[in-house]
Structure 1
Amino acid sequence: MRRVLVTGGAGFVGRPAVAALIARGFEIHAVGRRAPAGAHVFHAADLLDEVSRRAAVRAAGASHLLHLAWVTEPGRYWQAPDNLDWTAASLDLVRGFHEAGGTRAVVAGTCAEYDWTVASPPPCGEEPEVGVVQEAPPRLILNHPHPEPLPARGRGRAIDGHLSESAPCRPTTLYGAAKDGLRRILSAYAAGTGLSLAWGRLFYLYGPGEASGRLVGDAVRALLAGQEFATSEGRQRRDFLHVSEAGEAFAALLDSTVEGPVNVGSGAAVPVRAILETLGRLTGRPELIAFGARPLPPSEPACIEADIRRLTEEVGFRSRLTLDEGLRATLAAYAAR
């Protein structure tokens, strides 16, 4: 049985990733402060502490590593100094893993590494409306890496982007820069040591267990409680993937020999408005969604969509859930609680 060391296994993406890895026959050694369900062995450790981190890596003796842990506190981690701590800890984690005999590592990245002011054709399958700024609403997190609107670059507004792994990486936040810098350093390290390394760039996620401050979870909780949900006009388009499938995609990536960056998304951007309208229809409370109640800051692009050809053609992972099916499953999970 292949042994994998998983960080962040009790987190939003980590829980389905652990389940998917078990289904693929991996022996799960989880490391962190909380043990994920299904882990065969749990190594309690503070990953930011050098001594306990290195001890856990040695004790695990894993051949594979899936590194998902990072600073995730909504509202602060765009520019949190903790990003520097996680960069340093991640470098040491991967080095220690490889020096202990590990051969294959997958690390979670983010679409916030990309330069969102440069479009790569085709721009989400259609032209942007002339004169219309389609941005993300303040305070709403629309995917795993983004708890608030992207800070403005200081010139113009971002434009539509269909992003392949070869698109330019020019992050505008400390969070994005930390991830991009980590990838660059680890790529050079892997090339020089023979470590097999892949980098999964997450796009927009939704599903059961979302923390407060995320779009779908906040909308579901409000609608089920009969409360008004204030949002923008919702015409910005985003690439959403159910979190269960994100976990499966990471498991498939780890189980492959694919190296380098790989986009983890659905490959089809949809208007945020369509997602909220679907939730309104499914809950029978569409009148509670207050479109246009929040202003649109001029800092986020009209469309962010992942080119997922590497994920589908090289890794062999294909999303099975339609957006409607995924939202129904998410709503059912919240209602059951």
Structure 2
Amino acid sequence: MRVVVTGAGGYIGPHVVAAHVARGDDVVAVLRPGSTAPLHPDATVVHADVLAEDLDLGVFGNPDALVHLAWKDGFAHNSSAHMGQLSAHFRFLTGAAQAGVPRIAALGTMHEVGYWEGPIDAATPTDPLSQYGIAKDALRRSLPLALADTGTSLAWLRCYYIYGDDRRNRSIFARLLEAVDAGRSTLPFTTGRSKYDFIRVEELGRQIAAVTHSDVTGVVNCSSGVPVSLADKVEEFITENALPISLEYGAFPDRPYDSPAVWGDATVIRQIMSGDAAQ
């Protein structure tokens, strides 16, 4: 397949590019103009602003699939950029479909759902509580209607709590590493009781590539399907990396929109990955 990956220089992008290259795909990695983000050497790099009104889609050639990861301020859940750029994302993706791209896989988030306790599946109702979740959910709802008559198949990649390559994210794991770098021996923390669905970014890249190659449409949970408490995961990270630091439990309150336990129903992604491995 010839696969275009937008947001290739972001946190997830390099791992998605690498996963597609590993499958033998012809990968076009799209970076923002001026970006020098390191990518797999076998990928073809194109610098372009995919949200620009005057974007020429012809610069990507004739791809078999488009993986849309590009999104500003993904770690800042209430940034004004989420709603401010929503229409540009819609224009880009519908334009790609109208240009004849047969397969689109777009990155979503479990924050579309809002407060929820238990497993999340494709039918779980959404009630987002952040600007990030609201914008992603609006795009998820609007795209199937807009693409209905184009012949383009759409997979919505609903992601959960991603870790790994931790120097490049803004997670608790990155904050731990930064605190150790600064010589600190403790880090203020929440209660850590909430349970989440954690997935390594390398595995997420492989899951996204497998979904892109499949014919599955609609919401696909890219997740582990296993809830683990934040405290257990962070303590595991500290132990595995032999970090000389401890957590100050209860220093910060838990976020009001985080549930006691939430995770992705991984039935579909497990079927995709199992079938993919059998090929």
Q: Same fold (TM over 0.5)?
A: yes
Gap change, CA 1:58 and 1:291, over 3 Å in 2: same
Q: Return the alpha-carbon distance in structure 1 between the equivalents of residues 74 and 151 of structure 2.
A: 34
2:266 matches 1:308: yes
Given that 1:207 and 1:217 are in contact with CA atoms closer than 8 Å, whether structure 2 keeps it comes out as: no
Give, in angstroms, the shift of residue 73 of structure 1: 5.8
SS in 2 for 1:192: coil
Please name the residue that 1:70 is paired with: 71
Give, in angstroms, the shift of residue 209 of structure 1: 4.1
Please name the residue that 1:177 is paired with: 134
2:214 matches 1:213: no
Please name the residue that 1:251 is paired with: 209
Given that 1:263 and 1:308 are in contact with CA atoms closer than 8 Å, whether structure 2 keeps it comes out as: yes
Q: Which deviations, in whole Å up to 9, do the C-alpha atoms of 1:117-157 show, x marking residues without a partner?
A: 4xxxxxxxxxxxxxxxxxxxxxxxxxxxxxxxxxxxxxxxx
2:238 matches 1:280: yes
Give, in angstroms, the shift of residue 165 of structure 1: 1.4
Pick one of 155, 158, 162 that aligns with 1:198: 155
2:40 matches 1:49: no
Please name the residue that 2:143 is paired with: 186
Please name the residue that 2:104 is paired with: 105
Please name the residue that 1:268 is paired with: 226
1:1-337 equivalences in 2 (<5 Å): 2-33=1-32, 34=35, 36-38=38-40, 40-51=43-54, 54-55=55-56, 57-61=57-61, 62-72=63-73, 74=75, 77-117=76-116, 160-211=117-168, 213-223=170-180, 226-227=183-184, 228-285=186-243, 288-314=246-272, 316=274
Gap change, CA 1:26 and 1:235, over 3 Å in 2: same
Q: Return the alpha-carbon distance in structure 1 between the equivalents of residues 94 and 178 of structure 2.
A: 42
Q: Return the alpha-carbon distance in structure 1 between the equivalents of residues 232 and 24 of structure 2.
A: 38
Task: Name the TM-score, length of structure 2 as normaliser.
Answer: 0.88
Q: Return the alpha-carbon distance in structure 2 between the equivalents of residues 294 and 318 of structure 1.
A: 42
SS in 2 for 1:313: helix
Q: Return the alpha-carbon distance in structure 2 between the equivalents of residues 217 and 27 of structure 1.
A: 32
- Matched to 1:93, the amino acid is F
- Matched to 2:26, the amino acid is E
Gap change, CA 1:277 and 1:112, over 3 Å in 2: same
Give, in angstroms, the shift of residue 175 of structure 1: 1.6
Given that 1:197 and 1:260 are in contact with CA atoms closer than 8 Å, whether structure 2 keeps it comes out as: yes
Task: Name the TM-score, length of structure 1 as normaliser.
Answer: 0.74
Q: Return the alpha-carbon distance in structure 1 between the equivalents of residues 85 and 274 of structure 2.
A: 30
SS in 1 for 2:148: helix
Q: Which deviations, in whole Å up to 9, do the C-alpha atoms of 1:181-239 show, x marking residues without a partner?
A: 11111111222221111000010000114446311121233246542212122111111
Taking every aligned residue pair, what percent have the same amino acid on both sides?
A: 32
Q: Return the alpha-carbon distance in structure 1 between the equivalents of residues 84 and 46 of structure 2.
A: 20
Gap change, CA 1:266 and 1:296, over 3 Å in 2: same
Given that 2:114 and 2:133 are in contact with CA atoms closer than 8 Å, whether structure 1 keeps it comes out as: no
- Matched to 1:176, the amino acid is G
Structure 1: give runs of 5+ residues left out of the alignment: 118-159, 320-337
Structure having the larger proportion of residues in strand? 2
SS in 1 for 2:198: strand
Give, in angstroms, the shift of residue 242 of structure 1: 0.3
Give, in angstroms, the shift of residue 241 of structure 1: 0.3
Choose 248-257 or 269-278, whichever is displaced more.
Answer: 269-278
SS in 2 for 1:193: coil
SS in 2 for 1:80: coil
- Give the root-mean-square deviation of aligned CA atoms: 2.3
Q: Which deviations, in whole Å up to 9, do the C-alpha atoms of 1:272-317 show, x marking residues without a partner?
A: 1112222333344566322222233444211111101011114548
SS in 1 for 2:215: coil
Given that 1:115 and 1:171 are in contact with CA atoms closer than 8 Å, whether structure 2 keeps it comes out as: yes
Given that 1:206 and 1:217 are in contact with CA atoms closer than 8 Å, whether structure 2 keeps it comes out as: no
